[in-house]
């Protein structure tokens, strides 16, 4: 293995690999070093329960990747390396305790009919929103895909003012600052529709009353109807395998089981890394660290910039996530109707109030009495993930505390995840059983992954925080991970941060890695 590269990258998550692909395509020699035994970070797939059952470890939805600027640039190459997506025409639904349900699909008329059955007025509102979405999306995606500099913000609002004048620009600014509840209650009257969309905020640390969270339920709702969803053929790791193959073809090196002990720097400039076995690797042009901000000081031994180090230490993480992987003899028999068997995600989040309570409990260190549960049914669309006639369920509990102080229900006495994981999983399965009687009897095998387990596998998921940092307004846009450093820069020349902690943040879109690579390579 070479001991010198143009760019040395710490961590082999999807942002790292996207960054490496672009740099390698621009002629850079690249070495990627991953401490885990396998690459991918939170985008991994494996037989975690029984042979033949392939489960996505954390990320399942690859829509952001498929729609990303990175994929636009390298999609053909990755397809040639074996990447195949599976289209999902029924991306998400919610089931409710009154045995009603609501789902969004690419069949606009069917979605509209379901909403109309709940509220004719909401159906009219939905139809108008869907009609306006292409114009709104052009502005929103331009913002989310831009390097986060003051000039970019100014350009965004100038274009918005040019197209919509002052009133329209102010309306957009107001919307971007709204909480999910404020927007949903202002826009829709059906509590079922509000809850169906509000559940998406919980995927990204936006409980119903958190300012700045309205954008995500809106985008997921409109994009879900307009484009559906995509998942990876055989698993989410389809994107990882394709990027690894592309890197191999371009002469890059990816080494797993290689823990980086420290970043080497001299006279204010990064010069390489030292691995845990004592070997050193030189970086001629850049060291790129795909790590949580709080870990940077431990790798550098100090940047010489106390203000920067305080900001990195103060970086706030979202509450934790718990995963339950189930090998199933069959899909759940949903009490609300068999139609729910045809959706990729079924949210069990009955009201905005319940979501707000769950979030507050998790933030207080309490095991929620009724966690928000996302039930993924990927084998509906990709039967290759399980033996014939069998299925996998991907259950995600959002939110749970990373560090346990107590139990909101007063039933679980354990305050460590090693002891609390199983009873908490039983609570979640009890909820599933209420919505789908008989589901437990169909379980052939299970794997519980607590927040502590997620962090043990991937230190970037601090306290089980799957999005590597809260996206609240004080830590988003220009402030991700901190003001002045949203492009991944650090006070040490040639040392850069990437990953979900850097703008544009979490998700499978590979934006942080691709934007950094473009900056370093001069586009």
Q: Residues 378, 56: contact at Cβ < 8 Å?
A: yes
For the beta carbon of residue 23, count every other beta carbon within 10 angstroms.
Answer: 28
Instruction: Give 271-309 as a DSSP string.
Output: EEEEETTS-EEEEEEEEEE-S-GGGHHHHHS--S-HHHH
Low-confidence ranges of the chain (pLDDT < 50): none
Q: Residues 236, 376: contact at Cβ < 8 Å?
A: no
Determine the pLDDT at residue 141. Answer: 75
What's the CA gap between 371 and 359, in Å, rounded?
A: 9
User: What residues have CB less than 8 Å from 427, skipping those under 6 apart?
Assistant: 367, 371, 409, 411, 412
What's the CA gap between 215 and 137, in Å, rounded?
A: 11
pLDDT tens readout for residues 251-305? 999 999 999 999 999 999 999 999 999 999 999 999 999 999 999 999 999 998 9
In degrees, to the nearest 5, what angle opens at C-alpha 486 toward C-alphas 482 and 491?
A: 75
Query: What is the separation, in whole angstroms, between the first and last Cα of the chain?
Result: 28
Residues paired with residue 208 on neighbouring β-strands, in sequence order: none
Q: Residues 15, 512: contact at Cβ < 8 Å?
A: yes
What's the CA gap between 313 and 99, in Å, rounded?
A: 46
C-alpha dist (Å) from residue 277 to 36, 259, 261, 273, 376: 15, 8, 8, 12, 40
In degrees, to the nearest 5, what angle opens at C-alpha 264 toward C-alphas 261 and 265?
A: 150
Determine the pLDDT at residue 233. Answer: 98
Determine the pLDDT at residue 165. Answer: 64
CA 144 to chain centre: 15
What's the CA gap between 395 and 372, in Å, rounded?
A: 10
How much is the pTM?
0.95
Instruction: Give 420-485 as a DSSP string.
Output: HHHHHHHHHHHHHHHHSTTTGGGEEEEEEE-HHHHHHH-TTSGGG-TTSS--SGGGSGGGSSSTT-
CA-closest candidate to residue 108, choices 87, 89, 86: 89
Max Cα–Cα distance, the chain, nearest Å: 68
Determine the pLDDT at residue 153. Answer: 66
> What H or E segment, with its residue span, contains residue 161?
helix 150-177
The residue whose two tokens read 């790129």 is 288
Q: Residues 402, 465: contact at Cβ < 8 Å?
A: yes
For the beta carbon of residue 441, count every other beta carbon within 10 angstroms.
Answer: 9
**323 three-class SS:** strand
CA-closest candidate to residue 367, choices 418, 415, 431: 415
> What H or E segment, with its residue span, contains residue 363?
helix 352-363
What single-letter DSSP state applies at residue 106?
Answer: S
Determine the pLDDT at residue 171. Answer: 80
**31 three-class SS:** strand
Query: What's the burial of 166, exposed, middle or buried (CB within 10 Å: 0-12/13-18/19+)?
Result: exposed
């Amino acid at each position: 293995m070479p001991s010198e590269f143009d760019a040395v990258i710490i961590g082999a998550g999807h942002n790292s690999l996207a960054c490496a692909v672009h740099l390698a395509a621009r002629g850079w020699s690249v070495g990627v070093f991953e401490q885990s035994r396998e690459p991918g970070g939170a985008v991994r797939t494996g037989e975690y329960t029984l042979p033949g059952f392939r489960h996505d470890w954390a990320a399942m939805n690859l829509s952001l990747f498929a729609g990303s600027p990175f994929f636009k640039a390298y999609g053909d190459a990755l397809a040639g390396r074996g990447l195949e997506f599976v289209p999902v025409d029924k991306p998400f639904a919610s089931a409710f305790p009154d045995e009603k349900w609501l789902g969004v699909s690419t069949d606009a008329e069917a979605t509209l009919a379901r909403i109309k059955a709940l509220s004719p007025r909401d159906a009219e509102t939905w139809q108008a929103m869907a009609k306006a979405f292409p114009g709104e999306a052009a502005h929103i995606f331009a913002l989310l895909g831009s390097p986060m500099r003051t000039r970019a913000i100014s350009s965004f609002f100038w274009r918005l003012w040019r197209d919509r004048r002052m009133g329209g620009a102010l309306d957009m600014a107001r919307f971007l600052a709204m909480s999910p509840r404020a927007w949903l209650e202002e826009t829709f009257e059906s509590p079922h529709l509000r809850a169906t969309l509000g559940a998406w905020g919980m995927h990204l640390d936006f409980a119903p009353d958190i300012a700045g969270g309205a954008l995500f339920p809106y985008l997921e709702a409109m994009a879900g109807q307009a484009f559906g969803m995509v998942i990876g053929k055989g698993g989410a790791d389809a994107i990882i395998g394709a990027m690894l193959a592309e890197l191999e073809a371009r002469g890059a090196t990816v080494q797993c089981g290689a823990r980086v002990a420290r970043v080497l720097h001299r006279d204010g400039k990064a010069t390489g890394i030292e691995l845990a076995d004592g070997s050193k690797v030189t970086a001629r042009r850049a060291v790129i660290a795909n790590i949580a901000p709080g870990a940077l000081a431990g790798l550098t031994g100090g940047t010489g910039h106390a203000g920067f180090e305080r900001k990195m230490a103060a970086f706030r993480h979202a509450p934790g996530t718990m995963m339950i992987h189930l090998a199933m003899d069959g899909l759940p028999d949903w009490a609300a109707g068999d139609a729910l068997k045809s959706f990729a995600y079924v949210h069990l989040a009955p009201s905005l109030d319940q979501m707000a309570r769950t979030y507050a409990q998790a933030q207080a260190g309490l095991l929620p009495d009724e966690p928000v549960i996302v039930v993924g049914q990927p084998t509906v669309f990709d039967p290759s993930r399980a033996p014939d006639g069998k299925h996998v369920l991907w259950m995600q509990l959002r939110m749970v505390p990373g560090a346990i102080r107590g139990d909101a229900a007063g039933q679980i006495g354990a305050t460590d995840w090693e002891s609390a994981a199983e009873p908490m999983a039983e609570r979640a399965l009890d909820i599933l059983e209420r919505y789908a009687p008989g589901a437990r009897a169909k379980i052939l095998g299970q794997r519980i992954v607590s927040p502590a387990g997620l962090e043990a596998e991937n230190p970037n998921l601090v306290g089980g925080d799957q999005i590597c940092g809260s996206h609240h307004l004080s830590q988003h846009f220009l402030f991700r991970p901190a003001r002045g450093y949203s492009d991944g820069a650090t006070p040490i020349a040639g040392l850069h941060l990437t990953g979900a902690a850097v703008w544009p943040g979490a998700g499978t879109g590979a934006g942080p890695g691709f934007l950094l690579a473009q900056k370093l390579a001069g586009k």
